[in-house]
Chain A
Amino acid sequence: MFDVSSVREIEYGASGVTYVYQDHDDPKLWYMVPVPRLRTLDGAPSFGLTEYTSNGGGIAGLCTFEMELVQPVEARRAAEEILGNDISWGGFVWVGGTAYFYYDIAGENQVLAVEPTLYGTNVAAFQIELATPEAVNSFKNAFSGDAGGASTFRVEYEMQVLTKLLGAKATVIYTAEAAIEYEKKYKTVRDTWGNQKQVLQEVKQVLRQSGAGEVKVELGPGSSDELAQRVRDWGWTTLENQVANTVAAAAVMATGPNPVSATTSFNQTYQEDTVIDWSTPVSSFMRRFSSDEWKQVFTKVDNRKLSVVFNLIGELNRSGTDDPVAETVTVTVTYPTRKTDNTFTLIVTDGDQSSKIYEAPGDFSGGSYNPEFTYSYVINFKDGKTFQSDPITTTDTLVNITPNVFGTRQVTFIGQNIPFTGPAGVREVNIDFFFAPPAGNPAIVQTKTLTGNGVENGVRFDSFYNLPIGQNYSYRLRYQMADNSEIVSEPPGALSSAPDFTGSGNADIVFVADPKGLFTQFTLRAFNYTTETTTLLLVDVNAQYFDPLNNGDSWLAENTWSNWQPTGLLSFAEPRWNFQAVDNTNNAYFNLSGTIFYSNGESFTLDGYRQSSEYKTLTITNTVQNYSIKVDSSLIDWTQVSSVNLTMFQLKPQARERFGKSVPAFLTRPRHEMSRAERVEAEASQQNVILFSLLGAPSGVVVDNLERFYGIQRPIAEPTIEFYYTAVYVLKDGTTRELANQEVSGRLSVELPALPPATVTPGLVHQVIEPEALAVRMRQGG
């Protein structure tokens, strides 16, 4: 393992800079951070820019290229001049990463993020559809020119590698109030929050300029200022990614126009010796092509072509043995204009043959460009077995074949700073782990025990099925305390496009932290829309935090806001409510009671309104009223069921009208499992999405049948409450069952059945509460 405190900056060539780290144990072993370079295939640059002169099918051009990470010879030479010729070079073991392409179109900065392969030379394939002739010109100007030299466009890799934080302690802090204040100030010119990879650039600016981000570094004895700077760099990258995830999650879950205002503050301290995923961003400008090369890489054609990038990404070696999980993947693409020579082979873990840019003449037989194609693949495993996929029809131009497609799951739990000593410490951590196996394989909750911090004590769950599995998994941490008590911490299901724990498909690291004392913040915010004549006048709210799994029926923390008068478009009840709690967002909840008074003399009673603690903001507006839906899981037959995933959502008003009774089935899936077109549709039509992941227990442990709560909004102008849900039951025999398409009315609760019948067609439950039924319910409640 390399030693972060040994970092040295190496300058090489005309303006190159990279970093080297010394091995923790072997002083002659060094690691160099590689730098991005345009990939070369058969001596030619892996780059193509196409301009469409007439039938662009909605676009004016297309740019496709591949980058990779290399250690430049001259950088090694420069390093060896400083470090000595007798050193040897080690290789980083990447645990995650993202490659960003920074470009601009007619002066507007843009960024595209993709996942690199994580093996070989970390190939990252980019494909950019250029919508307008101006965009094509921007690319032509950036990559051509008589003089050659550097382009203004660049590629940055942000790769993560496990190591220990040595010689320093770091605290990363996000102060939501400052970010929100800043957003309010600039809201008229900045509104690009959305997808996580896209928000990251904005997050960087907001964190810096608003003062919402802070990284404190305390150096240990003898540590250098240079280490402080590197640790601060790492802390900022960590903070930026965490905030970007928070904003992305808020965007999926929240209603209301501003996801930033639904974020809450956090801070996290990384003690010295803690295992961390060290990040080492590296960047290179791309190059301009000489006029001879330009003739090869630039083409001008009449009609748009089909161009699809196929990519094998993720950890495709078996942990322990380093054997590849499969030999090859043979892909066949079906598209009307190319019916022969339409099969190619990708070689697993061979970085040179792990991606393919597949092209075919555009199909205009229907009068316009047809973007839809079908592909299927055959996986050839080492033992001679094969797996033939079903045909998949899509318009996605980037197809990532991830480890779960090979039936591979490798998740490692690493203790970060668990207090394993002392009378109030942790004796051990039992980890209950579950994922849905391929059909026909037993599906059980596995349990393993973690007894020490650090990589060397990590606990790994790995499975190799040779049959595809889903991307999701769930887990529960049961801390056995030295005083024989138990603390349970269970994360929520991963919903957003930036799930915390499913980054590379499934070769993930989960850091296990001290269970106690997680800083929690709850925010009560109000939107007073000026389009309405009736405004919010006064709010009285009492809030309580319950964690029944850890503390039974009593509340753990409480706060009251009395006589709060919301002002302006967006306002917050002050002070924010901060408290310490166990990180158990899967089933802890907030209980809120109080009264909201409107300017027209009417009022609304929050009577035991409850919402999941995953969502730490309650939004009150003059256009909606808040109700909670109780999810009763007590009927589930845990003798047969291993896990239930319950997805609940509401539709935006315009989507409700558009879909009518035909709500698309893909809306029930997590965003990261959707195609690009589906994701766009989901973002435009869904709101208030939540995923409850209900996990059975390993043998000998009793399942706690906990209630969950879904906070819901009813537009004041629309007296009917409507929401949708679907539940997927994974049985212990590996089969799955789902709820049938159905309409339910009149209930403010969801009752999950013991087991859905085996014969039903999976569907969506549409639940409606008419005003009369609602009035009766509220009278009963009040």
Chain B
Amino acid sequence: MHPPIPSGSARLQQGPGGVSPAPLPSLRAGAGPAAAVSTLDRLLAAARIVLPPEILKAGQPASDLTPSGAPLEAAFVWADSEPGCDPRISLDPAPGAQPESRLEAALSLCRAVSGTEPAPDVLRLAKRLSCWQQRAGCRYGAWAGLRPGEAGGLAAKLYLEVASLIDAKGRPLWAAFEERLAGVPPVLAGRNLRPTMAGVTPDGGLLELYYRTDPLFAGDLDTLMTRFGLVPRGQEVRRLVERLTGRSVRFEIPSSDIGFSVAFRLAGEGRAQRARAVAFTFYSNAAALLGPDARIADALLAEGAARGWDMTAYRQAFAAFDTWHSEGEAPLQRHGLIGMVLAGEEPPRVTATLALPVPHTGGRDG
């Protein structure tokens, strides 16, 4: 039996791979730290404006977003050919709240960031999935994501839990939804593939579906990518896992807790809407693949050094660990996921998520 997938598992918010983030301006000049500011720090500083005040207060209930209970999680994305680490954050907008309230809070945050109402298709999707959640029961309902936006500001993403609601014939309701997106029948029936979350941009242009699966073999990834009309690149995932673990991947990918996501570019509205897969991301729970935090960090830093990635922001964020947990308390796992983003034939991008301490509220000056 596998441990339950830690919250935050399938909830990275990278785009379809090829979109480079715009350079981040200092959104709140003077508000952030004076020197040695990492791109993540700048994103966090910018995000503080829109974060619900509740999550910045001390003594909040532990969030299901991360294994450590933190309501904030950073995602780093590295690629050989790209500078920086393309940071994003995901957050629990209402720790301890009911799923419906959390969905409302996440929608509010999306509105605050984009300055407009989410697209009708997005609201319809949120309503539909929320209905499934209420009928089938669910764990969290929704999260929100923030990343650098096009015009130097912020961009939001809405994450919706896909509950496993069964119809009268015993078929999950998500099956038709999923098959319509994919455009072709499912594959790998024996691997227990099931979508667990949908991530959607407020304009409705991009929808990412996150799946959890039973153990997969490297060849299975090719089968999956082919189903979605993507170039089969399972070998690249296998090689990454071999480099990170230092061991050969001969059979199944050596993790008890894995999944993947597919990002779809959406065009049209309502029934005329068409989806085209643009990126595949392999995910593993970082601990299930590499062990405790220190070993995950060692593996990522070694890989980053070998490939020339900018690990500054990641290193700084991870170093904050020591001062975070209470004295005498066993540190909880901070890493969430490790993954590889494969978009078309573009170079692969490697991603990792890390729970973050709640930003100091004392610094909020406006």
Contact = CB atoms under 8 A, between A and B. Distances in A.
A232 B251 contact: no
Interface stretch (A67-75, A207-215, A510-518, A735-743): A207-215
A232 B291 contact: no
Interface stretch (B36-44, B241-249, B310-318, B338-346): B241-249
A321 interface: no
A107 B251 contact: no
Contacts of A233: 247-248
Contacts of B294: 211
A189 B3 contact: yes
A217 B192 CA distance: 36
Contacts of A217: 246
B251 A208 contact: no
Contacts of B254: 204, 208
B250 A281 contact: yes
Interface in A687-714: none
A211 B291 contact: yes
Interface string A670-688: 0000000000000000000
A467 interface: no
Contacts of A192: 1
B256 A205 contact: yes
B3 A15 contact: no
B287 to A, nearest CB: 5
Contacts of A190: 1, 3
A599 interface: no
B295 interface: yes
Given A154-B251, A189-B1, A232-B246, A210 B190 contact: no
Contacts of A142: 190
Given A209-B288, A210-B292, A283 B251 contact: yes
B4 interface: yes
Interface string B261-296: 000000000000000000000000001111110110
Contacts of B288: 205, 208-209
A230 interface: yes
A88 to B, nearest CB: 26
B139 interface: no
A408 to B, nearest CB: 34
B127 interface: no
A152 B248 contact: no
Contact of A209 (B188, B215, B256): B256
Interface in B179-219: 188-192, 214-215, 219
A545 interface: no
B287 A209 contact: yes
Given A189-B1, A209-B256, A210-B291, A236 B247 contact: yes
Interface in A4-59: 15, 17
Interface in A184-210: 186, 189-190, 192, 204-205, 208-210
B251 A229 contact: no
A314 to B, nearest CB: 27
Nearest to A154: B251
Pick from A104, A189, A211 the residue with the most CB of B within 10 Å.
A211
Interface in A646-681: none
A208 B3 CA distance: 14
A487 interface: no
A135 interface: no
Nearest to A190: B1
B248 A107 contact: no
A232 B190 contact: no
Contacts of B290: 208
Contacts of B189: 141, 152
B214 A229 contact: no
B103 to A, nearest CB: 28
B359 to A, nearest CB: 28
Nearest to B255: A208
Nearest to A17: B250
Nearest to B290: A208
Interface residues on B, range: 20 to 34
Nearest to A280: B250
Interface in B148-175: none
A168 B3 CA distance: 36
B171 to A, nearest CB: 16
B225 to A, nearest CB: 14
A107 B194 CA distance: 12
B295 A211 contact: yes
A236 B219 CA distance: 23
B248 A230 contact: yes
A209 to B, nearest CB: 5
Contacts of A210: 291-292
A152 B191 contact: yes
Contact of A152 (B1, B190, B330): B190
A151 B295 CA distance: 35
Contacts of B287: 209
Contacts of B188: 152
Contacts of A281: 250-251
B121 to A, nearest CB: 33
Contacts of A189: 1, 3-4
A374 B192 CA distance: 43
Contacts of B248: 229-230, 233
A554 interface: no
Contacts of B289: 208
A229 B191 contact: no
A365 interface: no
A229 B291 contact: no
Pick from A107, A109, A142 the residue with the most CB of B within 10 Å.
A109
Contacts of A228: 246
Contacts of B251: 154, 156, 281, 283
A230 B247 CA distance: 7
A233 B246 CA distance: 8
A107 B248 CA distance: 26
B132 to A, nearest CB: 21
B214 A107 contact: yes
A208 B2 CA distance: 14
A23 to B, nearest CB: 22
Contacts of B295: 211
Contacts of A15: 219
A107 B250 contact: no
Nearest to B256: A205
Nearest to A14: B219
Nearest to B330: A181
A260 B360 CA distance: 41
Given A107-B214, A142-B190, A209-B287, A232 B247 contact: yes
B83 to A, nearest CB: 27
B68 to A, nearest CB: 13
B138 to A, nearest CB: 20
Nearest to A192: B1
A230 B290 CA distance: 18
Which 10 A-B pairs rank lowest in CB-CB distance, beginning with the nearest?
A152-B190, A211-B292, A211-B291, A283-B251, A205-B256, A232-B246, A233-B248, A15-B219, A186-B3, A209-B287
Given A152-B190, A156-B251, 17 more contacts: A107-B214, A141-B189, A142-B190, A152-B191, A189-B1, A189-B3, A189-B4, A190-B3, A205-B256, A209-B287, A209-B291, A210-B292, A211-B294, A217-B246, A228-B246, A236-B247, A281-B251
Interface of A: 15, 17, 104, 107, 109, 141-142, 151-152, 154, 156, 178, 181, 186, 189-190, 192, 204-205, 208-211, 217, 228-230, 232-233, 236, 281-283
20 contacts: A104-B190, A104-B214, A109-B214, A109-B215, A152-B189, A152-B191, A156-B251, A178-B292, A181-B330, A189-B4, A192-B1, A205-B256, A208-B254, A208-B288, A209-B287, A209-B291, A217-B246, A228-B246, A229-B246, A233-B247
Interface of B: 1, 3-4, 188-192, 214-215, 219, 242, 246-248, 250-251, 254, 256, 287-292, 294-295, 330
